[in-house]
Amino acid sequence: MQLEKTIAGVKAQVQIWKKEGLSVGLVPTMGYLHEGHRSLIDRAVRENDRVVVSVFINPIQFGPTEDLESYPRDLEADCRLCEDAGAALVFSPEADEMYAPDFSTYVDMHRVSEELCGKSRPIHFRGVCTVVSKLFNIVTPDRAYFGEKDAQQLAVIRRMVRDLNMNLQIVGCPIVREADGLAKSSRNTYLSAEERKAALVLSRAVQTGKSMILDGEKDGDKILAAMKEIIQQEPLAKIDYVEMVKWDTIEVHHKVDGPVLTAMAVYIGKTRLIDNFIIEE
């Protein structure tokens, strides 16, 4: 497996593959890879001749008070995981390789990016859309893989690809969880032992919401109230949002009468965790 730090190096390699008629899959990540990322890479390896994993902590998607500096990093372990999974290339550029000092072009989006995480992270999706567009231009993949763990991000990317006529397929992959239900996340490493236990309120709320819907409940207000009650019982947890939206447009919608996303962001101590479930009807 090849490790590339430069855009030119990636482009040269992809060009060789394309000349050979090989298909290319891309898995964009911020590194510190775990089994959630691994599930995306595994699927990409099954569906493409060559797989590129990008490992890049994208500074422009972090707000001024967020965890850019402390975000966990371990490129060696990431490369081992990628090689073991059968990826062909890891692209891990430095920030100055991706952003010239006078960088001035952004991909911005309205509506889909404005609810849920967009409210508390106002510049986040602009940063995500911009870096993902750049990665698509650099790697020119046939398919790109994103986790439903970041469900709004997946909806945002799908909308960007549709709106800007980008020529690739976006593949969404289910959430991978720890044995006790906590959604796997690089940010789980921030949690103390006590917080790790408290963090289970997110997946418990997800389970409760899901079972209410499977039992026939259609009233979003009742479902959200039950979920919030579970989280509020945990003293270490502070709700950022618990919300139900239409799955494709991310408009607030408190009725289960079509595909809906029920998503939450909850602080456990200082760590902001997200979780969700999707009902595709």
Cβ at position 19, least distance to ligand AMP in Å: 29
Interface stretch with ligand AMP, choices 3-11, 33-41, 159-167, 249-257 (CB under 6 A): 33-41
Q: Which is nearer to ligand AMP, 150 or 243 (CB)?
A: 150
Q: Which H or E run includes 54?
A: strand 50-55
User: By CB under 6 A, how many residues form the interface with ligand AMP?
Assistant: 17
Q: Is 117 in the site for ligand AMP (CB under 6 A)?
A: no
Task: Give the 3-state secondary structure of residue 76.
Answer: helix
Q: Is 25 in the site for ligand AMP (CB under 6 A)?
A: no
Q: Which of 185, 188, 203, 271 is the binder for ligand AMP (CB under 6 A)? A: 185
- The secondary element (H helix, E strand) that includes residue 231 is helix 220-232
CB of 33 to ligand AMP, least distance (A): 7
**Cα–Cα distance measured from residue 251 to residue 115, given in angstroms and rounded to the nearest whole number:** 7
Instruction: Check 34, 37, 110, 254 and give the catalytic one.
Output: 37
Based on the shown chain and the rule CB under 6 A, indicate whether residue 191 belongs to the binding site for ligand AMP: no
Q: Rule CB under 6 A: say whether 173 interacts with ligand AMP.
A: yes
- Which of the stretches 94-102, 105-113, 145-153, 247-255 binds ligand AMP when contact is defined by CB under 6 A? 145-153
* DSSP strands (E only) in 63-137: 89-91
DSSP letter (8 states) at residue 219 = B
Q: How far apart are the C-alpha atoms of 145 and 168, rounded to whole Å?
A: 11
Confirm or reject binding of residue 275 to ligand AMP (CB under 6 A).
Answer: no
Q: Which two tokens stand for residue 271?
A: 């760590």
Q: Is residue 184 near ligand AMP by the rule CB under 6 A?
A: yes
- Per the annotation, the verdict on 34 as an active-site residue is no
| Cα–Cα distance for residue pair 176/181, rounded to 1 Å | 9
3-state DSSP: the chain helix, strand, coil percent, rounded to 5? 45, 20, 35
Kindly state whether residue 133 participates in binding ligand AMP, applying the rule CB under 6 A: no
What b-and-e string marks burial along 68-85, b requiring 16 or more CB atoms within 10 Å of the CB? eeebeeeeeebbebbeeb
State the maximum Cα–Cα separation within the chain, in Å, rounded to a whole number: 58
Q: Is 150 in the site for ligand AMP (CB under 6 A)?
A: yes
Task: State the minimum distance, in angstroms, from the CB of residue 217 to ligand AMP.
Answer: 26
Interface contacts to ligand AMP, rule CB under 6 A: 29-30, 36-37, 39-40, 146-147, 149-150, 173, 175-176, 183-186
What are the catalytic residues?
A: 37
